Amino acid sequence: MKTTDTPAIPRRNQLRIKIFSDGADLDSIQEVYQKRTVHGFTTNPTLMARAGVTNYLTFAKEVLRVVPDLPVSFEVFADDFEGMRRQAFILNDLAENVYVKIPITNTKHESACPLIHELAHQDIKLNITALMTLAQVRAVAAALDPRTSAFVSVFAGRIADTGCDPLPVMQAALHILKSLPKAELLWASPREALNILQADQMGCHIITVTPDLLAKANNFGKDLDEFSLDTVKMFYNDAVKSGFSL
């Protein structure tokens, strides 16, 4: 029996939003790239550390060998702006498809917007990261060059972690960026597959997803009765495999 009490859900391949894979496992990056299921890749120092990366440049070059023709974001990790500038040029020179990730501030809470302005006006493609307030989005919008491509990464998932609804923030951020034709709003740190649909419906340009979250998106449009039965079968089969008895 098919369910009739849920609205039609688009399949993943019907979404307008661009999906970027977020991670630092080279095998996973290669697998996702070969399937052609995403539009780009992002990573960060935390993900790289968790994946056991020890040589930043070697890892970056390997990723770019695997992914030669889609946007790939690599983040600077210096805490002073001169160091960030130096690292930004090194990363930018690796390949044409590199976007340099610049955090909105350093650890001293000093704004990176002057550096963002300098780099953007030197035609360096940027991914401005760790934004969570509309004041930060406005400051970044003022710093960017309308002629230079940029991703503006607002961490909607972390906003939600504080108990705040991120959707109004993301909608307002999208409006702020309207005057910048090459700036794309990126929904960062989603917590569930539903966030992909929310981001798509509000007109967000990009969402980053981990490989496990991307796999969950394959369930979009699945009949809930069938999904319920699959879940019951999973519980039963796992109980049988475990040899449980009462």
Give the pLDDT confidence of 152-182 residue by residue, as tens digits.
999 999 999 999 999 999 999 999 999 999 9
pLDDT at 5 > cutoff 90: no
Residues spanned by the domain of 107: 13-219
In a domain, 186, yes or no: yes
* CA–CA distance, 21 with 41 (Å, rounded to integer): 5
SS3 206: strand
3-state secondary structure 36-78: CCCCEEECCHHHHHHCCCCCHHHHHHHHHHHCCCCCEEEECCC
Looking at the predicted structure, is the pLDDT value of residue 103 above 90? Answer: yes
For the chain, give the percent of residues with pLDDT over 70: 97
Quick check: is 4 in a domain? no
Tokens of 13: 């391949």
Mean pLDDT, the chain, rounded, equals 95
User: What is the rounded radius of gyration, in angstroms, for the C-alpha atoms of the chain?
Assistant: 20
* 236 is a domain residue: no
Q: Work out the angle at residue 25's Cα, subtended by the Cα atoms of residues 24 and 28, and round it to the nearest 5 degrees.
A: 120
Predicted confidence (pLDDT) at residue 234 exceeds the cutoff of 60? yes
Structural domain contains residue 108:
yes
> Which range has the worst mean pLDDT, 19-33, 175-189, 213-227?
213-227
pLDDT score recorded for residue 85 = 98
For residue 10, name the pLDDT band (cuts at 50, 70, 90): confident
Alpha-carbon span 20 to 73, nearest angstrom:
10
CA dihedral 162, 100, 72, 23 (to 10 degrees): -40
User: Rounded to whole angstroms, how far apart are CA atoms 31 and 52?
Assistant: 18
**For the chain, how many structural domains are there in total?**
1
- Reported confidence tier of residue 1, pLDDT bands at 50, 70, 90: very low
Q: Classify residue 243: in a domain, yes or no.
A: no
Cα separation, 206 vs 188, whole angstroms: 9
Query: Does any domain span residue 246?
Result: no
Q: What is the CATH number of the domain that holds 106?
A: 3.20.20.70
Check if the beta carbon of residue 26 is closer than 8 Å to that of residue 63.
yes
Per-residue pLDDT at 3: 46
Nearest residue to 42 (alpha-carbon basis) of 181, 143, 188: 188
Is the pLDDT score of 86 beyond 60? yes
User: Is residue 158 in some structural domain?
Assistant: yes
The reported pLDDT for the residue numbered 100 is: 98
Rounded Cα distance between 11 and 83, Å, is 44
Q: What pLDDT sits at residue 11?
A: 78
Tell me if 227 is assigned to some domain. Answer: no
CB 183 within 8 A of CB 168: no
pLDDT of 27 over the 70 cut:
yes
Q: What is the pLDDT of residues 104-140, one digit of tens each?
A: 999 999 999 999 999 999 999 999 999 999 999 999 9
- The HSE-up count of residue 5 (CA atoms within 13 Å, CB side) is 3
Is the confidence at residue 216, as pLDDT, over 60? yes
